[in-house]
Amino acid sequence: MLASIKNIVKRYGDTVVLDNVSFEINKGEVLGLLGPNGAGKTTTIRALAGLIGIDAGDILIFNDKQHVNNLNVKKRMGLVTQEVTVFDELTAEENLKFFGGLYGLKGTELKKRVSEALEFVGLTEHAKKFPKKFSGGMSRRLNIACALVHQPEFIIMDEPTVGIDPQSRNYILESVKRLAENGTTVLYTSHYMEEVQAISTRILIMDQGHIIAGGTLKELIKRIQHEEKINITVENPSEGLTEKFKSIQGVKNVIRDGSDYIIISGAGYGNLNRVLSVAQEKGGVSNISADKPTLEDVFLTLTGKNLRDEGEK
């Protein structure tokens, strides 16, 4: 095991941001931490990286108790933050030299690692350029290279693909896979289902400061595979329709987005007709369908929320 996180609690004022979070990170795995904005992913990562203290619980990494500025642990890990933290006034190569230098690399070793890191993220031919000339995707790739230049055994990536073009996104996902193939352990946070699904060997789902489910993709889908999901569009939804749906026997969750409703029922209830008749009575139906759950639905079922941000496709 590479890390063990036991019952960690983090408060900001009266708000409990992490509420008894526990999980383990196994050596060599790509652990996907999936959750909506505000779930507590970044706070978990900051605590793991020793950037913030915690109010209760324990974090062990490399068998060492993590605390703020534990340099022994820090040396062996890399952190890719959500914000790009490279220097605009240094070239790509100089940025890498700077970050490598922070970890004590020098001379030919530093030169070698810098050129390897540039190659790893596909920026070799841009080595002498300044990041302010880079596209969003290139800046993010340089940001990743800066966290890798000291060849850490464990790397944490906090939503490294937010707001970038699909090509750079794929490049980053491919590089995570290559890192794992080379034996690096990766903790990867995202609110993009497809990403986590594509690269993770194991997935944790986080919401409102709690880890609410964990397992391989197969295990997570199995948890809800027998449940029933009904999508229905109601023409003129009347007051209290959500509550009315919720009162149908076997209904576990109702998610409303304007006139569109998603109704999740437990196994074997066969609620399609009941949902239809409630909707007809309370507004009129323009569309209805039932389908088999996906990983997105695992999240929906467990939290009652859509994972995507408003406005995202």
> Which stretches of the chain bind ligand ATP, using CB under 6 A?
12, 17, 35, 37-43, 159
Q: Are 57 and 16 in contact (CB under 8 A)?
A: no
Query: How far apart are CB 10 and ligand ATP at their closest, in Å?
Result: 8
Query: How far apart are CB 207 and ligand ATP at their closest, in Å?
Result: 9
Residue 133: count of CB within 10 angstroms of its CB: 12
Nearer to ligand ATP, 84 or 117 (CB): 84
Q: Are 3 and 275 in contact (CB under 8 A)?
A: no
Q: Could you tell me how many residues make up the chain?
A: 313
Nearer to ligand ATP, 105 or 157 (CB): 157
Nearer to ligand ATP, 48 or 73 (CB): 48
Query: How far apart are CB 308 and ligand ATP at their closest, in Å?
Result: 12
- Give the residue among 83, 13, 96, 8 at the shortest CA–CA distance from 53: 8
Nearer to ligand ATP, 40 or 237 (CB): 40
Contacts with 20 (C-beta within 8 Å, 6 or more apart), sequence order = 7, 8, 9, 57, 210
- Cα(204)–Cα(212) distance, integer angstroms: 8
Query: How far apart are CB 297 and ligand ATP at their closest, in Å?
Result: 20
Query: How far apart are CB 279 and ligand ATP at their closest, in Å?
Result: 34
Coil, helix or strand at residue 6: strand
Query: How far apart are CB 162 and ligand ATP at their closest, in Å?
Result: 8
Query: How far apart are CB 24 and ligand ATP at their closest, in Å?
Result: 20
Nearer to ligand ATP, 12 or 236 (CB): 12
- Give the residue among 195, 207, 203, 208 at the shortest CA–CA distance from 223: 203
Nearer to ligand ATP, 43 or 301 (CB): 43
The strand pair at 56-61 and 77-80 is best described as unpaired
- Beta sheet of 56-61, edge-to-edge order: 15-25, 3-12, 56-61, 64-65
Nearer to ligand ATP, 42 or 95 (CB): 42
